[in-house]
Each structure stands twice: as structure tokens, then as C-alpha cells.
């Protein structure tokens, strides 16, 4: 019977994918324009819900087995959960699919109709947060560095979705809206870079003579990796925001005083997170990222202030 659980999981996921494809690829907005349909959002939310339900069911079965063991007087406790062949690997693969869907929605600026940009960002934030927590629970039941990496990556993307969700509704045009989205993602990733590095330092108290004896102790190395890749991704987004007005297909200069202040603040937050991480971990790659962040800040200031200087002349 346990061998049927993983095929059942994939059958439900396949049904969710087929149901999501029934949504129109593009939908007409109230203003008369067209926006991307909600098929990707529906699939992402359904995927996260299915994964969380299966992980919760496994946890309930494990709790029931432990209750029976406590009353039976047996000497050996039950395993961390029922042995469902292929289940953990399938959860990791589905988590990666959800990561790709989240990156897609962030790349298109949540231009989804229905339900709209802000609601789509909130829904995807909840899906990523729930799925990331479920994968970390699986990693806690029986340690897997891969599940921990994917779960923490999903939490980073959930923070990005939450940052995008609080952006103002204006401007509507994606060409002018993208710099705001880049700025929000930059701030979220900078915070997550600091957070995972700080947690890695806190979890060192779970080491016994340098050996991890708890899940928190085993999370130190994955937390360091995710912190580095979060900072690296934030740096890529920062450079993209810096050169955005200089791209040939972009007509807006994005050089208002508020935008310059927000962009500089995002860069300074990233620089602080990288320098803090470099000081705490003594790792050279954080220092290298900090230097590249300084170069991105200078490029951002030049790209925004050059039009103002030309106008003054």
C-alpha cells in the first residue's frame, strides 16, 4: 500500500497541471488591455497545497504510530515517518518546479489577470512559504541537505513576493514598474542574506565538538550556501536595476528623486548585509560580493543622475 502513495501524489499533480492549462493564456483586463492568465498561479498554489497535505498526512501517521508505541511497551520507537518509496525525492522535485514558477511570476512582474498583481503576489507568497516549511519539516524528520536547500530557497522567494506585494499600484506600465520590482526584490534578498547568515551563527550552539547532533546543527552549511546565493542573486538584480534605463528597449529614465533614494537605500542595505556576513564568516566571497555591490551602487547613481546633469547644462 505504501508504494502507491508516490504515484498517487504524481497523479494529483498531473491533474492539477491539466486543470491549470484549461485557463486561458491571456485574459482581458477591465481597462481593455490584455494580461497573462492565471494558469501558472493556479498550478503553483495547487502544487504547494498538495505537497503540504501529503507531508501533513505523513506527520499524522507518524504521530499515531508513536502513540501506539508509547502504549505498547516496545523498546524501539518507530521511524521518523512511514516509508513511502520515492516520496521525499518527489517532494524535492516538486519544490524545484514551484521555484521555477515563482521565478517566472517575478520575471513577468505578476502581470496576471485575474486576480491582479498584488493578490497574485500574496497567493504565491503563501504557497512558497507553506511549501518551504513543509520541505524543512521533511528534512527534520530524516535529514536531507537537498530538501533543506530547496526549502530555504523557497522562503527567500516568498520574501521577494511579499516585498513586491506591498508596492504601490502605480505605475501600471511594466516598463516603468520593473525598477520598483527590482528594488523590492533587492531589499528582500538582502534581508534574507543577513538572516540565513545570522541563523547559521546562532545554530553553531547545536554543535558538539564541531559535530552536528541536531537538525539545526546540520542546517548551518545549507544556510551558508543559501545566504551566499541570495546575496549573489541580489547583486544580479541590483546590476539589472542599475542598467535598466540604458537598455535599448526601455524609454523611461527612472530618475525621480524618490526612485534614486529607494535604489540607493536598497544598495546600501545589500552592502551592509554582505559586509556583516563577511565579517562574521571570514569568507572571501562575501567580501567580493560587497565590492561588486559598491560598483553597482556607483553605476546606479551615474545612470540616474547623468540625465539630470545633462538637463541642467
Q: How far is CA 248 from the centre of its chain?
A: 30
pLDDT, tens only, 194-239: 999 999 999 988 887 778 888 889 999 999 999 999 999 999 999 9
In this structure, how many other beta carbons lie within 10 angstroms of the beta carbon of residue 110?
27
pLDDT, tens only, 277-289: 999 988 899 999 9
Give the residue from 205, 108, 204, 92 showing the smallest Cα distance to 153.
Answer: 92
Long-range contacts of 192-195 (CB under 8 A, 24+ apart): 192/155, 192/156, 192/159, 192/226, 192/227, 192/230, 193/227, 193/230, 193/231, 193/234, 193/270, 193/273, 193/274, 193/277, 194/227, 194/272, 194/273, 194/276, 194/277, 195/227
Q: Is the per-residue pLDDT at 70 higher than 80? A: no
Band (313; pLDDT cuts 50, 70, 90)? very low
pLDDT, tens only, 166-189: 998 877 777 788 999 999 999 999
Residue-level pLDDT at 311: 56
Band (2; pLDDT cuts 50, 70, 90)? confident
Residue-level pLDDT at 139: 92
Percent of the chain with pLDDT over 90: 59
Band (116; pLDDT cuts 50, 70, 90)? confident
Which residues are 36's β-sheet partners? 26, 112
Cα separations in angstroms, 162 against 85, 86, 157? 35, 32, 9
Q: Is the per-residue pLDDT at 155 higher than 50? A: yes
Q: Are the C-beta atoms of 200 and 224 separated by less than 8 Å?
A: yes
Measured over the CA atoms of residue 201, residue 204, residue 209 and residue 210, the dihedral's sign is negative
- Residue with more model confidence, 39 or 81: 39
Peptide bond into 163 cis (omega under 30): no
Residue-level pLDDT at 250: 81
Cα separations in angstroms, 272 against 22, 283, 288? 46, 15, 13
Nearest-5° Cα angle at 263, 259 to 265: 120
- Residue with more model confidence, 169 or 91: 91
Strands 34-36 and 26-28: antiparallel
What is the C-alpha to C-alpha distance for residues 300 and 138, in angstroms, rounded to an integer? 42
Amino acid at each position: 500500500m505504501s508504494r502507491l502513495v508516490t504515484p498517487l501524489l504524481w497523479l494529483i499533480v498531473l491533474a492539477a497541471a491539466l486543470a491549470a492549462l484549461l485557463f486561458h493564456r491571456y485574459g482581458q483586463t477591465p481597462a481593455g488591455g490584455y494580461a497573462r492568465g492565471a494558469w501558472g498561479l493556479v498550478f503553483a498554489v495547487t502544487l504547494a497545497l498538495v505537497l503540504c497535505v501529503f507531508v501533513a498526512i505523513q506527520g499524522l501517521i507518524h504521530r499515531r504510530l508513536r502513540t501506539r508505541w508509547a502504549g505498547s511497551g516496545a523498546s524501539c520507537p518507530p521511524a521518523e515517518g512511514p516509508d513511502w518509496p520515492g516520496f521525499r525525492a518527489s517532494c524535492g522535485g516538486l519544490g524545484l518546479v514551484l521555484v521555477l514558477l515563482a521565478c517566472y511570476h517575478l520575471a513577468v512582474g505578476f502581470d496576471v489577470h485575474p486576480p491582479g498583481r498584488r493578490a497574485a503576489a500574496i497567493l504565491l507568497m503563501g504557497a512558497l512559504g507553506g511549501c518551504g516549511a513543509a520541505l524543512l519539516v521533511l528534512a527534520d524528520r530524516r535529514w536531507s541537505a537537498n530538501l533543506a536547500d530547496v526549502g530555504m530557497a523557497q522562503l527567500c522567494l516568498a520574501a521577494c513576493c511579499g516585498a513586491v506585494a506591498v508596492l504601490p499600484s502605480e505605475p501600471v506600465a511594466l516598463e516603468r514598474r520593473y525598477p520598483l520590482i527590482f528594488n523590492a526584490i533587492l531589499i528582500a534578498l538582502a534581508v534574507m542574506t543577513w538572516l540565513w547568515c545570522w541563523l547559521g551563527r546562532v545554530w553553531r550552539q547545536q554543535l558538539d565538538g564541531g559535530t552536528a547532533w541536531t537538525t539545526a546543527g546540520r542546517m548551518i552549511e545549507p544556510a551558508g550556501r543559501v545566504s551566499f546565493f541570495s546575496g549573489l542573486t541580489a547583486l544580479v538584480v541590483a546590476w539589472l536595476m542599475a542598467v535598466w534605463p540604458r537598455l535599448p528597449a526601455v524609454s523611461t529614465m527612472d530618475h525621480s528623486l524618490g526612485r534614486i533614494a529607494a535604489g540607493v537605500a536598497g544598495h546600501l542595505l545589500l552592502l551592509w548585509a554582505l559586509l556583516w556576513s563577511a565579517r562574521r564568516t571570514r569568507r572571501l566571497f562575501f567580501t567580493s560580493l560587497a565590492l561588486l555591490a559598491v560598483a553597482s551602487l556607483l553605476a546606479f547613481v551615474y545612470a540616474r543622475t547623468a540625465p539630470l546633469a545633462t538637463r541642467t547644462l
